[in-house]
Amino acid sequence: MTNIENKIFSAYQRDSALYDEIFDEDGTIKQVYQKLFNLYGEHTIEDYVKLNSKAKSSFFNQGITFQVYGDKETKEKIFPFDLFPRIIDPEEWEVIEKGSIQRSKALNLFLWDIYHDKNIIRDGIVPMDLISSSVNYLDQMNGIDPPGGIYNHISGIDVIKHKDGKYYVLEDNIRCPSGVSYVICNRTALKRALFGVFNHYQTYSVTNYAENLLDLLESVKPKGVDIPNCVVITPGMYNSAFYEHSYLAKTMGVELVEGRDLFVENDFVYMKTIKGPEKVDIIYRRIDDQFLDPLEFKSDSAIGVPGLFAAYKKGNVTLANAPGTGVADDKAVYTYMPQIIKYYLGEEPILNNVHTYHCSRPDELKYVLEHIHELVIKPVDEAGGYGISIGNRLTKSEIELVKAQIKASPRKYVAQPIMSLSVHPTYIDETEEFEQRHVDLRTFTVLGKDKEFVLKGGLTRVALKKGNLIVNSSQGGGSKDTWVLKNK
């Protein structure tokens, strides 16, 4: 089977320097994609455009939109969706799943340690700087035992496939990782547009996420609670992920609340209802640490609940994720992940880490400044792809600016070699053709008391701009449905 026989891929251009997820180096279609390739090949580009717009309208109809911060005008956008799905075969998935669980568990043990005895620092495995100069380390969490011993109930681990065909972790997101609702909605949209293709593959369902999440959250209920009452708290409808908050509450079958719907009395949390106060035991919070409780953190937070932290400290409510988890998704902590996994679990890391240079170390700083054109520079405490500079895309004056920024606060930056993210055929509106675009994969891992769950799927994010390596939705990325196969 060659490209020519396939109508919609006839103009597909392969750059041999890139790792294409569906074609081998010699241009043969990979086995798992064979059937899909043939099925899509039955259509013309015109058909495809029609199907694509059908899928898009399904997003509009469901109201699945987001906003980008920093734009002059904030307006609702739909997350661009690509109809050509990504397939992950069972063996590859096993690695990703085991690796995600391993990392999540190691991060949880790391968090317990740095908020208790801090042995990993005493033993010289990680520097004290990781906590003492991290803005996300919450002193108030010291000595607190979170219910069930879990800090990062939900972890969003971003992995990429490099040129060598191996998976590498780019980031661990363990504050309030978002995107899971898109995983489920992408599946819905694809089923609406091209139901038939699902008959040819045995794909794991992704719609069981909410029930598993609720089950695992309930496993870490506060002591003394029989049947826990769980809620999802959102900053409100103007938040970029509001759709997801409402979606999760709806599919978990729990209330979606804002700070003003809750109050604390005698260190217990209650929800205001028309039938009177109702006690709340578990809060899946989608608001940042600093906004949780205006009496404990930022006093001008209008979205938090006064007294919430005291209720948490007394063990009367579970917060997921726990406050203070942000310290462990600092990009400086990321660089120690192989050591952190070995230290707590005595295991070799299943998923690879990208080599990272710490600008806080003088010799590494020197290397970074000299090789800036070969590196990606990342601020350690920003999320969503903000503040990232890719060395070979910078102009001379931009390079000087970045260098000056690094020199001014070396602790704030890390640098990594420019990874070549794998590419996946993606339909591009402007050219009306399939083109190679870089993709990553966000996996969702949930930790409960003595059990865990990984969503068999995940969010494949696509950098829609040609050559772009940053896939975050806030940077104009799109997404694809991601199939994990039950068998080959």
Tell the smallest beta-carbon distance from residue 294 to another protein (Å).
5
Hey, which residues does 30 pair with through a beta bridge? none
Tell the smallest beta-carbon distance from residue 311 to another protein (Å).
9
Distance, in Å, from the CA atom of 270 to the CA atom of 135, rounded to the nearest integer, reads 30
Using the minimum distance from each CB to another protein, give the nearer residue, 131 or 154: 131
Interface residues with another protein (CB under 8 A)?
Answer: 118, 121-122, 124, 128, 131-133, 138-140, 142, 263-267, 294-296, 299, 306-307, 309-310, 313-314
Using the minimum distance from each CB to another protein, give the nearer residue, 302 or 401: 302
Residues 6+ apart with CB under 8 A from 219: 148, 448, 449, 450, 451
Phi, psi values for residue 395, rounded to 5°: -80, 170
Selection from 381, 401, 382 nearest residue 391 by Cα: 401
Tell the smallest beta-carbon distance from residue 135 to another protein (Å).
11
Tell the smallest beta-carbon distance from residue 229 to another protein (Å).
21
Using the minimum distance from each CB to another protein, give the nearer residue, 134 or 416: 134
Q: Is the peptide bond before 6 cis (omega within 30 degrees of 0)?
A: no
Hey, which residues does 66 pair with through a beta bridge? 77
Using the minimum distance from each CB to another protein, give the nearer residue, 138 or 317: 138
* Residue found by looking up tokens 């939109």 in the block: 65
Tell the smallest beta-carbon distance from residue 295 to another protein (Å).
5
Half-sphere exposure of 253 (CA within 13 A, CB side): 9
Using the minimum distance from each CB to another protein, give the nearer residue, 49 or 121: 121
Distance, in Å, from the CA atom of 414 to the CA atom of 11, rounded to the nearest integer, reads 39
Tell the smallest beta-carbon distance from residue 121 to another protein (Å).
5
Tell the smallest beta-carbon distance from residue 143 to another protein (Å).
8
| Residue spans of beta strands (DSSP E) within 138-220 | 154-161, 167-173
Using the minimum distance from each CB to another protein, give the nearer residue, 74 or 266: 266
Provide the edge-to-edge strand list for the sheet that holds 375-379. Answer: 357-358, 413-417, 375-379, 389-390
Using the minimum distance from each CB to another protein, give the nearer residue, 131 or 446: 131
Using the minimum distance from each CB to another protein, give the nearer residue, 299 or 431: 299
Per-state percent for the chain, helix, strand, coil, to nearest 5? 35, 25, 40
Tokens coding 160: 């990429």
Using the minimum distance from each CB to another protein, give the nearer residue, 30 or 118: 118
The SS3 call for residue 132 is helix
Distance, in Å, from the CA atom of 150 to the CA atom of 109, rounded to the nearest integer, reads 9
Tell the smallest beta-carbon distance from residue 224 to another protein (Å).
18
Residues 6+ apart with CB under 8 A from 470: 385, 388, 390, 463, 477
Ramachandran area for residue 185 (φ above 0: left; ψ -120 to 50: alpha; else beta): alpha
Sign for the CA dihedral angle at 336, 339, 345, 348 comes to positive
Tell the smallest beta-carbon distance from residue 268 to another protein (Å).
11
Tell the smallest beta-carbon distance from residue 160 to another protein (Å).
35
| Residue spans of beta strands (DSSP E) within 224-322 | 230-233, 255-257, 262-265, 268-271, 278-280, 282-285, 318-320
Using the minimum distance from each CB to another protein, give the nearer residue, 137 or 483: 137
